[in-house]
Structures are given as structure tokens and as C-alpha cells.
């Protein structure tokens, strides 16, 4: 489906919102020919398990995980790339799953919070979040933990950030580096300082 077709179908939804409910329902029940969702088979591996899903091509990776695979650990905070609650690791890189279409991940290996650890066997980053009280309500925490795990991989791979002094040297794990790299993960409860402490502890153990 072209970008133009996606925009047109979005416009149709807005118009439907302004109609009486009965008219909107009638229209929803009888989609115009040519406007039916385009479906595609998407094969991807999530937390080590292979899946093939038949999806509307407009389905985001986040909705594929939550609605189709029932992996509800990844959270939907804003649904437009501003909060980081939906962060997952795709092919070794952290991404906002709400900003990525599932069809773009055919053949990819995805890791969600469910694939990092279990309640009986927590990932070291999850243990550190618990030890340092890196959360309150916990809504942002799955995204924070996935992001934090990927941040340490990025630093280990020598990828500089906006606050790295020397772009050619291997970045050091400083509080400034962690804050900058985690700046896409918002926490309404304000657990930021404890999150930095948790990540610093895990980085120290890996050094």
C-alpha cells in the first residue's frame, strides 16, 4: 500500500468520526471496494520463537507484539515515538516498536522484555532496577530495561553519543553518557536518578 493510500484511509476515518454513529457503523460494515485492508504474511522471530503472522500491512510492530502475540510487556505510552515505553531490540538495535511497521521486520530477530529475563531468573539489568528502585508505577520500565541493555551494547561497540568528548575514543560509561543515551525513555514517576544508578552498576560489573 502506498503512503498516499494510507493517508487517504486515515482521512476516511476522520470523516467517519464526524458522522452519526449509525451511519459510521454502516460504512464500517461495507468497506468501499479497493479500500479493504491489505494483508501480508510476516515471518519473524520473537524471543527465540519463530512466528508467521497474517497482518494488515499498517500494523505496527508494537501492535503485532501486543495484540497478535499477546506479549504485553512492551507498553504503549504515546504511540508516536515520544515516550520510549515500547522500546524493543530488533536485530541488536533498540527501536520504538510503535514507529515501525511489522512488515518491515520480516526475517528479523526481536527481543522484548519477556525475552530478557523471567520472574524466576531476572536479567542482570532487571535485578539492578529492582535493587536500586529504578521504577515506581513500572509502566515505563520494560522500555527502560530494553533500552538500558542496548545502551551498554552500544557503548561496548564504541558508538559515540551527542555528549561523547572524543568521537574516535571508546565512550566511557558516565552518568552524562547514560542520561543522554536514555533520554528517549521518559518516566512520569521520575525514577531517573535510580535508573542511572542501576545502569552504572551493571556497566561496572561488565567492565
Q: What does the binding site for ligand FES look like in residue numbers (CB under 6 A)?
A: 76-79, 81-86, 96, 98, 135-141, 187-189, 191
Q: How far is the CB of 76 from ligand FES (least distance, A)?
A: 5
Q: Which is closer to ligand FES, CB of 7 or CB of 137?
A: 137
Question: In the structure grid, which three cell numbers stand for residue 204, read together?
Answer: 561496572
CB closer to ligand FES out of 43 and 78: 78
Shortest distance in whole angstroms from residue 178 CB to ligand FES: 16
Residues 80 and 91 sit within 8 Å (Cβ to Cβ): no
Shortest gap between Cβ of 8 and ligand FES (angstroms)?
A: 25
Residue 94: helix, strand or coil by DSSP?
A: strand
CB of 177 to ligand FES, least distance (A): 21
Closest distance of CB 134 from ligand FES, Å: 8
Query: Three-state SS for 128?
Result: helix
Q: How many CB atoms lie within 10 A of CB 24?
A: 15
Q: Rounded to an integer, what is the distance from CA 195 to the centroid of its chain? A: 18
Our CB check for ligand FES shows the closer of 98 and 151 to be 98
Closest of 175, 180, 174, 172 to residue 147, by C-alpha: 180
54 phi and psi angles, rounded to 5 deg:
-100, 110
Report phi then psi at 45, rounded to 5.
-110, 125
Question: Measured from the CB atom, is 26 or 189 closer to ligand FES?
Answer: 189
In the complex with ligand FES, the residue whose CB is nearer, 47 or 194, is 194
**Cα(47)–Cα(89) distance, rounded to whole angstroms?**
10
Q: Work out the number of other CB atoms within 10 angstroms of the CB of residue 149.
A: 22
Q: Least Å distance between CB 114 and ligand FES? A: 17
Q: Which is nearer to ligand FES, 63 or 164 (CB)?
A: 63
Amino acid at each position: 500500500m502506498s503512503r498516499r493510500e494510507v493517508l487517504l484511509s486515515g482521512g476516511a476515518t476522520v470523516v467517519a468520526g464526524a458522522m452519526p454513529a449509525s451511519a459510521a457503523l454502516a460504512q464500517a460494515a461495507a468497506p468501499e471496494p479497493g479500500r479493504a485492508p491489505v494483508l501480508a504474511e510476516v515471518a519473524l522471530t520473537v524471543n527465540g520463537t519463530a512466528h508467521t503472522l497474517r497482518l494488515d500491512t499498517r500494523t505496527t510492530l508494537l501492535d503485532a507484539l501486543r495484540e497478535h502475540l499477546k506479549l504485553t510487556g512492551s507498553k504503549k505510552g504515546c504511540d508516536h515515538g515520544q515516550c520510549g515505553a515500547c522500546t524493543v531490540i530488533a536485530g541488536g538495535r533498540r527501536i520504538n516498536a510503535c514507529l515501525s511497521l511489522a512488515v518491515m521486520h520480516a526475517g528479523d530477530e526481536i527481543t522484548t522484555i519477556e525475552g530478557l529475563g523471567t520472574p524466576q531468573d531476572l536479567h542482570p539489568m532487571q535485578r539492578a532496577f529492582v535493587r536500586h528502585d529504578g521504577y515506581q508505577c513500572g509502566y515505563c520500565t520494560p522500555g527502560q530495561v530494553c533500552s538500558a541493555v542496548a545502551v551498554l551494547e552500544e557503548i561496548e561497540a564504541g558508538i559515540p553519543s551527542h555528549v561523547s568528548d572524543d568521537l574516535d575514543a571508546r565512550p566511557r560509561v558516565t552518568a552524562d553518557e547514560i542520561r543522554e543515551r536514555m533520554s528517549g525513555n521518559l518516566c512520569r514517576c521520575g525514577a531517573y536518578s535510580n535508573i542511572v544508578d542501576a545502569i552504572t552498576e551493571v556497566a561496572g560489573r561488565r567492565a
